[in-house]
């Protein structure tokens, strides 16, 4: 696909099928076509002749994702990565700490706490099941601040 006259390829982990098999869909139903991949090395193989690579839900990728991003950047490709830096318990999530450490630029976005209205930095899990990775939507998670996440 082309965006602003740049050839763009967008990837997401194949396990993320919450809204769509191939599209990245926001909670407010905005969508963009992506390529689901089983592992980060596949991104290197598929990201040929592109100007920009987008990677969504990076916390779900394997331990090579930061190296893959570095290799893409060394090729002169702009790499844009999105993911949760913390899990539902407030712990570093997957490979995000490694990606954050190597990033040239970081924009940290926050939601609004559903309890008090302050800035939310925790994806509070409303159900008591699963390990660190439990795919869910609004029925399973809600944004909360540190204080309200303890309630």
DSSP 144: E
**H-helix segments, 5-102:** 40-46, 65-74, 96-102
Q: What pLDDT is recorded for position 141?
A: 86
Please check whether residues 18 and 76 belong to one and the same domain: yes
Same domain, 61 and 131: no
**Which of 48, 75, 65, 76 has its CA nearest to residue 102?**
65
DSSP strand pairing (23-25 vs 31-33): antiparallel
* CA 108 to chain centroid: 12
Q: What is the mean pLDDT of residues 9-15?
A: 87
Are 98 and 81 contained in the same domain?
A: yes
- Gap between the Cα atoms of 48 and 65, Å rounded: 17
Query: pLDDT for 13-33, tens place per residue?
Result: 887 655 555 555 555 666 667
**For position 18, what pLDDT does the model report?**
59
In total, how many domains does the chain have? 2
- CATH code, domain with 103: 3.40.50.300
**Enzyme catalytic residues:** 57
Claim to verify: residue 105 and residue 140 sit in the same structural domain: no
CATH code for position 135: 3.30.60.20
**Is 60 in the same domain as 131?**
no
Domain boundaries, position 122: 110-151
Quick one: pLDDT at residue 70? 97
pLDDT of residue 4: 80
- Greater confidence (26 vs 44) lies with 44
pLDDT at position 55 over 80: yes
Asked if 143 and 111 touch (Cβ cutoff 8 Å), the reply is yes
Give dist(CA 12, CA 124) in Å, integer.
Answer: 23
């Amino acid at each position: 696909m082309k965006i602003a006259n740049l050839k763009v390829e967008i990837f997401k982990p194949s396990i993320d099928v919450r809204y769509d098999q191939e599209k990245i869909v926001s909670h407010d139903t905005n969508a963009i076509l992506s390529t689901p991949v089983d592992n980060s090395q596949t991104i290197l193989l598929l990201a040929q002749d592109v100007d920009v690579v987008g990677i969504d839900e990076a916390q779900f990728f394997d331990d090579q994702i930061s190296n893959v991003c570095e290799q893409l950047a060394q090729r002169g490709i702009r790499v844009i990565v999105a993911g949760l830096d913390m899990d539902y318990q407030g712990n570093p999530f997957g490979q995000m700490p490694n990606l954050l450490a190597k990033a040239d630029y970081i924009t940290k976005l926050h939601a609004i706490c559903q309890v008090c209205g302050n800035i939310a930095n925790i994806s509070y899990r409303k159900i008591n099941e699963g390990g660190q990775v439990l795919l869910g939507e609004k029925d399973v998670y809600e944004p909360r601040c540190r204080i309200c996440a303890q309630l």
